[in-house]
Structure 1
Amino acid sequence: MHEYEITVLNLLKRHKAASIDSLLQHSKLGRDAALWAVENLAGNGLVSIEREQEQAPRLTEEGKGYLHAFPEEKLVAQLSKSGGKASASKISDQIGIIWAKRNGWIKLEAGSLTLTEQGKEIAENRKSYAFRDLLNQLSKLQTLPKGMPEKSRNELKELGKRNLLEITERGIITAIKITEKGEKAHAVAGEEGIGALTREMLTKGTWEKERFRKYDINAPAEEAQPARLHPLHEFLDVIRGIWLNMGFTEVSGPIIESAFWNFDALFSPQDHPTRDMQDTFFLKNPSEISVDDIALMKRVKRMHLNGWKDRWREEVARQAILRTHTTSVSARSINRFATADEKSYPLKFFSVGRTFRNESIDYKHLAEFYMVDGIIIGNGLTLSNLIHTLKKFYAQLGMNDLVFRPSYFPFVEPGLEIYYRDKKKNDSIELGGAGIIRKEITKAMGTNKTVLAWGPGLDRLMFGSLGIDSISELYKNDVGWLRRRKELKI
């Protein structure tokens, strides 16, 4: 019998019963050693174990930020200071609006927010907010009390849905008792061999004559925390691997881009709504990025004048922005390889990178997200080749329930959108756009080849692979979630 087991039996022989905490207190065993010994003894019928389940609450980083005030509380306080009314367009916090409306604190009519009587009670601190009261209570608890009211249980669920609270269930050992068989085994504990290999045994070779106790790999131990890749980076590596295995070459481009490559080179008119401040992030420093290829600039200008029949301004094309898609990398690649050797076709490229759009935030939209862009440059390429390529890619991610719908993009003709049916949310998730690059663009870029192109967002692809409910979960500074997250399943 192992020395740890003998230690436990000695203690139980004196006290008949003990908890794990008292076992650690009255012995020199560490928690891992004590748990291993107890589980091993229980497996052999030498001790009996009494267990019970407990729930441990833990506030997320976002939850900790809500301890003083929730977004909906801040909103009604702001409205109260403004006389109880404000334009919804001037309120940037959509989460606050949603919850304040759900709580009956505000009314939303004709684009205007109006404070209700209930909202005034919260704003003037005449009534406390149950969610914040509960969150503050939970921040001081190690375990959830038993017999919580149904109302409090429902509030716990809502806090969990809002990613403010995580509840971990764990089984704890409440009592360990020595059995009759254990008492008999205690008397002959030293007759079953040794449980540790020493340096002396190895140097003298005496281990060959010893009998060793079997090692129990199923005995519980403290949870190990090995280093892990961030799930987003892990997923990006998977995506790269798929395209590389399909014969594509990876290319890259700048995050800070000129409007020329992001919009103009892709036949997006200079008065297009996507160039407005509500959709694109414009930079102040640098405010402009020049284009060195004057001949290319002239060809793109001619393309716009002939196609859109409108004025084209070079100063607009020089505007510095955060790129709104990685298709700017594809445009650069088409131009770069316009004069490639005829024998090298078809050319297949892909890029993976961050993109930025000034969008309203919800579970499937963020202002920053990753995209993968791909192009095939060659002769005689058709829409069938494009759809086949995309189906082959998504199939390797386990996504076979795809829908391709006709759509319009300024830089492709014909164009289509790719959708995936998320059965869990009963929702169609837009994965991105695709199509055949317009001849006006390929001509301006200096080639007469056909170019197939696509640009799906990567973050949304992770819903099924990681089992997450919102892409915001990918960017939480929550080490606990990163450690406990599900394994990436492809």
Structure 2
Amino acid sequence: MKLPETQLALLEAASATEQRTVAQFAGELGEDTAAVTRAAFELEEAGLLAVDEHVAEDVALTEEGERYREAGLPELRLRAAAVEAGADAEPAEMGRLIGASGLEGPEVDIALSNLARKGYGSIEGGAVQLGADPKYDPDEDPEAEALDDIADGNAGYLDSGILDRLESRGLIERTETTVRSVTLTDDGVTALMEGVEATETVSAVTPELLTSGEWREVEFTEYNVEADAETVHSGKEHILRQTANRVKNVLVGMGFQEMEGPHADADFWINDCLFMPQDHPARTHWDRFALDVPLMDDLPEDLMERVEDAHRNGVGTEGDGYHSPWSEDFARAVALRGHTTSLSMRYLSGHAVGELEPPQRYFSVEKVYRNDTLDPTHLLEFFQIEGWVMAEELSVRDLMGTFTEFYEQFGITDLEFKPHYNPYTEPSFELFGKHPETGELIEIGNSGIFREEVLSPLGVDCDVMAWGLALERLLMLMYGFEDIRDVHGTLCDLDLLRNVEVVY
């Protein structure tokens, strides 16, 4: 009997009494797993091997799970701080415990909810009281122990309820794989005893074989079309980029031109031109990403003077300004833009493409950066659909009509509008759309008509209506995604991105 080299090697390595997996054989033979799988099926078809299949679950810690395994679950760290503060006798002030436990950001909410869930303590009036009858012994917390077991490769012994809980907390990832095990059949043993030789086969027709005529002489490898083949994922345009390009096409079709500009810009363009006071909470280091680079020195001095005057004294007879601190160094400081309205300020001022005469329509679909808490609708960086229209006698009805026309292009017809306050627009309103799966109203943008305090220093003497819409929120309404972290970021769902059907 003659067999291809891979089949012969697998046949000789297999045992009639011990099941071994295809992955084990692949490592031992130095072959690709897909090639060994194909050889196993071919030998099974010839009756020389038996292939057994079963589904196995693989459990691995996420980055967050690994961090909690090393530092401790947030609720256990909070409880330890409470014990140290004597909260078993008298309630301890929550702020003090949070500081002592070293919890930060979203870990605080995680600690509080799980502290109560496990009966380790209760929260009332801003204080923590340790529970007298917890569900678990804190020194033997089953979720903390499970993280250690998973790290040690012992996930198979864990209760499915514990795994479900850890998965819901985002601390583990569970994947199912098909495991194939191989054993020799009686016919396989007989064939080996009688002797099997290797035959050299060709797996593909090449130009050299065709031109030389050797294809007439060689023996080609037989293929089992029912055998699993290696999955090859081809390159594909990201669905977020697809949608961004579609947004651009729609806006260009509505008569808009695209703006371009820097991601890192002076606070002057990002906020000062927008009549945002320099002591506004959104301009602190908690909400912006400041860069340790030299101050921007190429700002237009006359425009800076007019913007400063608007901040200090207001505009027109009714204007009063902010009477808040003003620092030229702060205005020149460079940060990552928190919105793409910095581009609008550059264009409206004439700094980008020269002085503009109405009517004008401009847009951008660009990335912005904010120091937000990560959740299903917020990321540290996301894409904003910026746009504005410069014309005489614009009204809110013009703005609402623009949104209605724009979103209809994406099948969204149930917009809702809510009055809102912005330092830079008056009137202002937020846009909401209904999520197709949950029915929940999702905020999808903010808009308004620029105030005189914004336009007058820029030299614009007509109306300008403007907006900032979230591209990712549009994606949620189009495709039914419930968590924007599924489509980009370090935790994105690759299978979803590979298989999602593009909506047009």
Q: Which amino acid aligns with 1:205?
A: G
Is residue 326 from structure 1 mapped to residue 337 from structure 2 by the alignment?
A: no
Structure 2 CA distance for aligned equivalents of residues 177 and 141 of structure 1: 29
Q: Is residue 81 of structure 2 the alignment partner of residue 78 of structure 1?
A: yes
- The change in CA–CA distance for 1:394 and 1:45 in structure 2 (over 3 A counts) is farther
How far did 1:429 drift? 2.2
Alpha carbons of 1:331 and 1:314: their partners in 2 closer, same or farther (altered >3 Å)? farther
1:199-238 equivalent positions in 2, closer than 5 A: 201-202=209-210, 204-208=212-216, 212=220, 215=223, 219-221=227-229, 235-236=240-241, 238=243
Contact 1:9 1:178 in 2 (8 A): no
Which one-letter code corresponds to 2:174 in the other structure?
I
The equivalent position to 1:250 in structure 2, one of 250, 259, 281, is 259
8 Å Cα contact 1:345/1:378 also seen in 2? yes
Aligned position for 1:155: 162
Superposition TM-score, scaled by structure 2 size: 0.74
The one-letter code of the counterpart of 2:457 is A
- After TM superposition, the structure 1 = structure 2 runs for residues 268-307 of structure 1, keeping only pairs within 5 Å, are 268=276, 274-275=282-283, 292-295=300-303, 297-298=305-306, 301-302=309-310, 304=314, 306=316
Question: Unpaired runs of 5+ in structure 1?
Answer: none
Instruction: Output the amino acid matched with 2:8.
Output: T
CA–CA distance in 1 between the matches of 2:337 and 2:52?
A: 60
- 2:291 and 2:209 map into 1 onto residues whose CA distance is 71
State the match for 1:429 in structure 2.
442
Q: 1:433 to 1:169 in 2, by over 3 A?
A: same
Q: Measure, in 2, the Cα distance between the counterparts of 1:107 and 1:222.
A: 53
Matched, 1:3 2:4: yes
Q: 1:218 to 1:416 in 2, by over 3 A?
A: farther
Which residue of structure 2 lines up, in the alignment, with residue 59 of structure 1?
A: 61
Tell me the amino acid that sits aligned with residue 273 of structure 2. A
Aligned partner letter, 2:160 = R
Equivalent residue number for residue 131 of structure 2: 116
Unaligned segments of structure 2, at least 5 residues: 99-103
Q: Deviations over 1:171-194 (max 9, x none)?
A: 11234565989999xx9x99x995
Which of 357, 363, 366 is the equivalent residue of 1:352? Answer: 366
Of 16-25 and 423-432, the range deviating more from structure 2: 16-25
Q: Deviations over 1:229-276 (max 9, x none)?
A: 8x6xx6256415531563231322353532x43444223456655456
Per-residue deviation at 1:329?
2.4
Give the counterpart of 1:130 among 119, 126, 142.
142
Deviations 1:91-112 (A, max 9, x none): 4433222322332323222233
For the pair 1:174 / 2:175, whether they are aligned, the reply is no
Three-state SS of the structure 2 residue aligned to 1:486 is helix
Structure 1 segment 457-472 matched on structure 2, within 5 A: 457-461=470-474, 463=476, 470-471=483-484
Matched, 1:315 2:348: no
Aligned CA distance change for structure 1 residues 325 and 476 (closer, same or farther; 3 Å): closer
TM-score calculated relative to the size of structure 1: 0.75
Verify the 8 A CA contact 1:299 1:444 in the aligned structure 2.
Answer: yes
| Distance in 1 separating the partners of 2:95 and 2:411 | 41
Structure 2 letter corresponding to 1:312? H
- d(CA) in 2 for partners of 1:283, 1:410: 25
- How large is the RMSD of aligned CA atoms in angstroms? 4.7
- The equivalent of 1:239 in structure 2 is 244
1:419 corresponds in structure 2 to 432
Q: For this pair of structures, how many residues does the alignment match?
A: 471
**Structure 1 residue 417 displacement after superposition:** 1.2
SS in structure 2 at match of 1:430: strand
Q: Which amino acid aligns with 1:81?
A: E
Write the distance in 2 (CA, Å) between the matches of 1:384 and 1:110. 46
C-alpha distance in 1, partners of 2:11/2:292? 74
Identity %: 23
Task: Report if aligned partners of 2:308, 2:326 keep a CA contact under 8 Å in 1.
Answer: no
Indicate if the aligned counterparts of 2:10 and 2:39 stay in contact, CA closer than 8 A.
no
Query: What amino acid does structure 2 have at the position aligned with 1:87?
Result: M
**Secondary structure of 1:156's aligned partner:** helix
CA deviation after TM superposition for structure 1 residue 421, in Å: 2.4
Partners of 1:37 and 1:139 lie apart in 2 by: 34
